[in-house]
Amino acid sequence: MNTHTGALSGLIVLMSCGGGVRDGAADGAAPRPVGAPDPASVTPQAATAIAAPPAATPVPAAAAKLAFHPVVTSGEWLGLHPLLDGSLMISAGPRLLRIDPTGAIEDGPALLAGIELPFPDGREWGVEGLIEMINESGGWTALQVGGTWPGATFLTLEVGRQRPDHVYRWAGDRWARTKPGRAPVLTHPLAIRAWKDHSLLAWRELYAPALDLDAQCSSCPKEMYETPAYKRAEREMLATKQLVVLAGPAQGPPLAGHKISAFDALPGGEVFLALNGGGSLLVLPAAGGEPVTLAPPAGPGIVLLHGLVARAADDVIGFGSRDGKAYLQRYDGAQITAIEAPACEPGLASLSIADATWWATCANTVPRSYDEINRQHGTSSLWRRDDAGAWQQVALADGIAARVVVARGADDVWLSAYGEQGGTLLHTRGHGPVRALGDLKQIVRAGFFAGEAEY
């Protein structure tokens, strides 16, 4: 994931962690609706473990076995968010579409219910004024949607660089906003996984307003970093837990003070974290023993891990880049080895494994918004590998740049891409006419100002 920059490269102003929740439950979260499934009784959609592929020379070639069909378009960045019950959420700004495990799409306005307009005077400004403020701030986007539907689903919305972020929990027929985390550190979920004791474990991002001096001065004098408020925020940031339980009886691991770039966990209790600054893997054993840190295999360049796919305690795949090229590694329960990656640049932005098929996108890291895509440069491509075969590049329509892929089965693959006209969601199955969500102004007007006169 991309992270905002700040003092000490994210450990101080921003730390990969956080979200308006406390260990054990979300602050202010509505209770699970009566009759809804136990949130963590649903295990993640598991991919079948396969043997480690032998080294092979990647063969860039069009894989014509499956054709991708456009399903949704928008002038906004289309986020792709797998839930733990096998469903998906698609986001366009604050707009959400739910795709159930059968592939049926729920695209009505009900999934906007409960979401608050940004800025205190948003409604008074009307659509034009509100959109102007949102665009000046850097956009409005869903950072994550995670958990299990409908009993424990959590949404993190961000308005540009405005903080704190808005964290919601689904409350049966609408979103209920949770209370901000304790000052001086604010938190919001970045990723949620099924964990031990039928619990949901979240990796959080942390933000300390007192440490964010950029708004006050471009080159702050040294004394501003020595104030009591600044020092207190530093201590609080380093002491705030980065992993918390959002639902269920388990207690989250007492992990704090790390620079984290990716996270995964298993229902058996294991937790895996990729660390910034070299691609090391931090393993938290299921039994609560001492954490183990393993460095990536020696080689040229610096390893940057963008994600982890944990399929078993002894089968964890890390993906990202090394020396500006795509990189894959496997943890087998004892050591890390490099495995064959697609022959592409600048690195792997996403990886999804279903049955015996691996899918990957080669691009810049996943953006927080479509506005961020406009500031990124570089190529983008989609790759797949069957069984232990070679990686093959998948041909897409002209003007389509792949960013995130999620495979739920051999012929059930979803792809979030973008082009000159905005975001496009594609699927390996046809769904009839393409749903056009429009740009942010159209989304806000239809969802929050429906039936009101133009300003």
Write out pLDDT tens, residues 256-266. Answer: 999 999 999 99
Cβ of 123: how many Cβ atoms within 10 Å? 14
Taking residues 283-297, report their average pLDDT: 92
Contact 292, 29 (CB under 8 A): no
Neighbours of 224 (CB within 10 A): 12
Give the pLDDT mean for 174-195: 87
Q: What are the pLDDT digits (tens) for 29-55? A: 333 332 333 333 333 333 333 333 334
pLDDT, tens digit, 9 for 90 and up, residues 218-249 = 788 989 999 998 999 999 999 999 999 999 99
pLDDT, tens digit, 9 for 90 and up, residues 324-357: 999 999 999 999 999 999 999 999 999 999 989 9
Facing residues of 207 across strands?
14, 186
Which carries the bigger pLDDT value, residue 60 or residue 372? 372
Domains of the chain: 7-34+41-448 (2.130.10.10)
Whole-model pTM: value is 0.84
Question: Does the pLDDT value for residue 15 go beyond 80?
Answer: no
Query: What confidence score (pLDDT) does residue 227 get?
Result: 93
Cβ(348)–Cβ(320) under 8 Å?
Answer: yes
In which band, very low, low, confident or very high, does the pLDDT at 24 lie, cut at 50, 70 and 90?
very low
pLDDT for the residue numbered 195 = 98
pLDDT in tens, 87-139: 999 999 999 999 999 999 999 889 999 999 998 888 999 999 999 998 888 78
Mean pLDDT throughout 384-405?
92
Confidence band (pLDDT; 50, 70, 90) for 416? very high
Phi, psi values for residue 372, rounded to 5°? -70, -35
The pLDDT score that the predictor gives to residue 70 is: 94
Q: At what angle do helices 440-448 and 122-137 cross, to 10 degrees?
A: 160
Residue in 40, 17, 49, 45 with CA at minimum distance from that of residue 316 = 49
Average pLDDT, the chain: 83
Asked whether residue 16 carries a pLDDT value surpassing 60, the answer given is no
Contact 70, 418 (CB under 8 A): no
Confidence at 171, pLDDT banded by 50, 70, 90: very high
Tell me, what's the pLDDT at 38?
38
Q: How confident is the model at residue 200 (pLDDT cuts 50, 70, 90)?
A: very high
Mean pLDDT of 308-323: 97
Average pLDDT over every residue of 360-372: 76
